[in-house]
Amino acid sequence: MDGLKIAVLISGRGSNLQCLIDATAESQYPAEIVAVISNVHGVLGLDRAKKADIPTNVVDHGDFPDRETFEDAINDVLLSAGAELVCLAGFMRLVSAGFVHRWHDRLINIHPSLLPAFKGLHVHERIIKAGVRFSGCTVHFVRPDMDAGPVIVQAAVPVLAGDDADSLAVRVLEQEHIAFPLAVRLIAEGRVRVENERVTIDGHQAPAGVLLNPTGG
């Protein structure tokens, strides 16, 4: 079905793009992907989009003298496609405050930690080193500060004894593939409101119970 028009910005293999492609292929999902934009040529994510007959564009940051003109070119593609929501799905470029303001509350990102903890890169390695007991992922509205903004959806996973960065990343990615389509669905259904930099979700239900790690045996 037609619905909220979303564009997805990528830089690599596009596994989170694929989960959005799969979700939008469902007849009752309230959104459609109108453009996939990569800043890198030849990445797997572009092949995923082409296979699903989604329009693709490459806007190579190296072709522009500065970030402003690069982002102007991306913005032109977004407007031409009629995008109403922009999803950063492994887009490995920091966007400027100007771009964020253009798409205020219409620009979302997924990050592989429970924000505001562990912003930035090399997240899973840092989590293992810190010895925390839980990790997860966060879908949030983008703000000018890196990995900041009102939280829409989070998923938590335990950090297991013997985990390394790779095994933890696999478990977190599984939840990213659930959380990202859920966040887009909630927005598309008009259930998400941002008030005083906090997200309110109409009909929100929190999970029951408490997670404990370790369980105590």
**What is the residue type of 87?**
C
Query: How confident is the model at residue 192, as a pLDDT?
Result: 98
In this structure, is residue 134 part of a structural domain?
yes
d(CA 119, CA 116): 7
Give kind and range of the element (H or E) at residue 135: strand 134-141
d(CA 131, CA 163): 10
Q: For this structure, is 111 an active site residue? A: yes
In this structure, is residue 202 part of a structural domain?
no
d(CA 24, CA 34): 11
In this structure, is residue 140 part of a structural domain?
yes
Residue-by-residue pLDDT tens, the chain, 217 positions: 579 999 999 999 999 999 999 999 999 999 999 999 999 999 999 999 999 999 999 999 999 999 999 999 999 999 999 999 999 999 999 999 999 999 999 999 999 999 999 999 999 999 999 999 999 999 999 999 999 999 999 999 999 999 999 999 999 999 999 999 999 999 999 999 999 999 999 998 888 888 899 987 6
Q: Residue 139 belongs to a domain with what CATH number?
A: 3.40.50.170
134 is in which domain, residue-wise? Answer: 4-195
Query: How confident is the model at residue 78, as a pLDDT?
Result: 98
In this structure, is residue 207 part of a structural domain?
no
In this structure, is residue 13 part of a structural domain?
yes
Query: How confident is the model at residue 1, as a pLDDT?
Result: 53
In this structure, is residue 212 part of a structural domain?
no
In this structure, is residue 60 part of a structural domain?
yes
In this structure, is residue 137 part of a structural domain?
yes
Query: How confident is the model at residue 216, as a pLDDT?
Result: 75
pTM across the whole model = 0.96
d(CA 140, CA 153): 7
How many folded domains does the chain comprise? 1
Spatial CA neighbour of 181 closest among 24, 10, 14, 1: 24
Of these residues, 111, 124, 140, 177, which one is catalytic?
111
The per-residue b/e assignment along 38-75, b for 16 or more CB within 10 angstroms, e otherwise, is: bbbeebebbebbeebebebbebebeebeeeeebbebbb
